[in-house]
Amino acid sequence: MRLCFISTAGAVRSVMAEAIAKKMSKDALLLMEIFSAGVEPLDAIPQQVIEVLKEKGYLVETAKPRSLQEIPYEDADIIITLSAEARDKSPYMYSHKRREHWVLEDVKDLSNLQALRKLRDQIEENISSLFKIR
């Protein structure tokens, strides 16, 4: 099963979702390929995002923002958009078995670690529900 998280810049929300989903799926012994991308990807993941993910043991050192063309978007089973722009700019494919849109806050001030932690925790909750873990 292929799961793709799509956001605007591919550097905060989708990267967080990818890192969290990879660890949670591995811990739950789910066989999944998990990717993230941005419809307008940035050049790098902000250090604050890496820091907040590391606090809970999520790994992202080798991750980088990617475009839809850099991931197996057309072959994905599940697409989850994480911003209105991503929802509007991500083409629908008949191959997608499921498509969801999660309303998540766009943390503009990346120095606000508390807001990034809140976002991380919300993504954890959503992924737990998606994987039916608990």
Domain boundaries defined on the chain: 2-131
* Distance of alpha carbon 54 from alpha carbon 18, whole angstroms: 13
* Distance of alpha carbon 100 from alpha carbon 18, whole angstroms: 15
* Distance of alpha carbon 119 from alpha carbon 109, whole angstroms: 12
Q: Say whether pLDDT at 134 is over 70.
A: no
Query: Hey, what CATH topology would domain 2-131 get?
Result: Rossmann fold (3.40.50)
The verdict on pTM exceeding 0.85 is yes
pLDDT tens digit string along 55-96? 999 988 777 899 999 999 999 999 999 999 999 999 988 888
